[in-house]
Structure 1
Amino acid sequence: MDDDLRTVLLCTLRAPGRDPGRVLLTGWFSFPDGEATAGDVLAQQHMSAALAQAGIRHDTAWSPGFRPGALSLETARPRAYDTLLFVCGPVHGPQVAALHDRFRTCRRLAAGVSVVDPADPAATGFHAIVARDGTAAPVRHDLAARAPAGPLPPVAGVILSHGQGEYGGRRRHEDVNARITGWLAGKDCARVPTDTRLATDDWRLCATAEQFLALVSRFDVVVTTRLHGLVLALRTGTPVIAVDPVAGGAKVSAQARAMGWPALVDAAAPTQEVLDHWWDWALSEPGRMAAACHSMR
């Protein structure tokens, strides 16, 4: 059996003569004003799966801001649990220290955490800590490194125009962008905002056209309101959903038609149904093949 944090922790939970009872799984993802990071959530998934596999009943307390309606530290009844388990992040500061008071009737354990100050009440309040760093114990793999995860979703490059004042009263940019971003927020995808603007004094932007092409070529799909978002995505063989932000159509529509690219949406029509249709097509084999063909022209 490997000596990772999960194994050590389960041995601690099942110490001779002690029943772990029901466990409340917590972390920085539990605090109302805390942050739910990818690493923290993967650590939660790791321990939740390990507890389930070991037959240990458990619940997870989530931040209401991250998962509204789910069990939270506020709604969790301390006496309903025998053990509080805190995973990932630093055991440091007043928020963690407050857990010891609220859940004082529970056995309190921490796993996969960083011990910044061993004398901090946030750390000393735990009955046992299985740390990833900050103690004399050997450094172990972080819980997120071996956490179970589902299939990876597509990566969507998002290239939006916010200017183009030359179109005057025909501009629909604000409304179109709001519809696109609101729709994208509900899609299971990794969203990467980017810009066709180049700069040599801003590390967040590409400095050369080749850098931009390299970036776009890594996306699974591009959603854009910019002409060159459309043109350069297809140049790299990346499927693109082009939304023309100008009422009646302008250069985005003209270029999409010139290139024979079908995934074109009018400024008046970026509804969820229309965008979902082109999303599914762009990520399908026919959509990927159509984009690949454009890259060879």
Structure 2
Amino acid sequence: MTQTGNIFNIQRFTIHDGPGLRTELFLKGCPLRCKWCSNPESFMTFSQPGVYRTKCISEEKCGECKEVCSGENVLQFFEGKIGAIDRQKCKHCLACADACPAEAIKQWGKYMTVEQCMEIIRKDRGYYDRSGGGVTVSGGDPLLQSDFVQQLFKACKEDGIQTCLESTFYAEWEDVLKVLPYTDLIISDLKHMNTEKHKQYTGVNNEKILENLKHLAREGRDMILRIPVIPDVNDDDINMKETADFILNELDGHVRTLQLLSFMRLGEEKYISLGIPYRMEDVELDREEFQKKVEKICAYFNDRNIHCLVGTKEKE
């Protein structure tokens, strides 16, 4: 049976998630709901329409979306332009997105076969060879589509292409094992060491994540770990000390780089397009002072002999 995956974005020539120049596939579906997430289009496993009102030609001059929508009062217009979708009534058929000539309704998520993905990936083979790059799958969380990732990575390895898995690792170990034989590099987050606070800010506890990371270390797997540094959430000294202790005591030297990702207000337009509240709008900070704090945290990890950098660079 041909394996398909639901993909909401493919970025070529990216340099942020793994070494060299990469092709990165972002897969739909995530078990976490991090309050600071900049990719709300990744939350659901199914394809969704997103609304971009400023692009709408107008209900009067166009109205193509209304013509093809099979539901009643699903599409909601304000002052003559598409403004929202009643998500309770929407069947996610995406006929409206297909019909819209102005991309005022955008389709988030498209089912693709492994071979369709490989056709795109193979176009960049020369860049991988020259830069030491390859393919990264991210999300959402690609382990929600572990069968697809397994087959995609297997095809990459058959073509001699390096692979990188970026995951929350809030997953069953059996799903990790499907992908692991075809995975060269792993990227994951350490969002918070306190399980109650982890659940408060991400919607899930962290026990499964930490156990999977320990499993990966025992398997001898190289990892890039990341901390999204969020003001007044996980940027305190206690959390950073516990994070360092975990890396040193439990991961046995298999973290090749720890990357600190400074909080940025990103993705607000996508939240609006999906009718989801953006939960970080009240966060105010002095960017310069916050960056100094992140640099201080970076110095702390390096002082404890954990190779740490600010940003998504792998080496310095």
Regarding TM over 0.5, the answer is: no
- Per the normalisation by structure 2, the TM-score is 0.25
More contact order relative to length (CA 8 Å, sep ≥ 6) = 2
Name the structure where strand makes up a greater proportion of residues.
2
- Per the normalisation by structure 1, the TM-score is 0.26
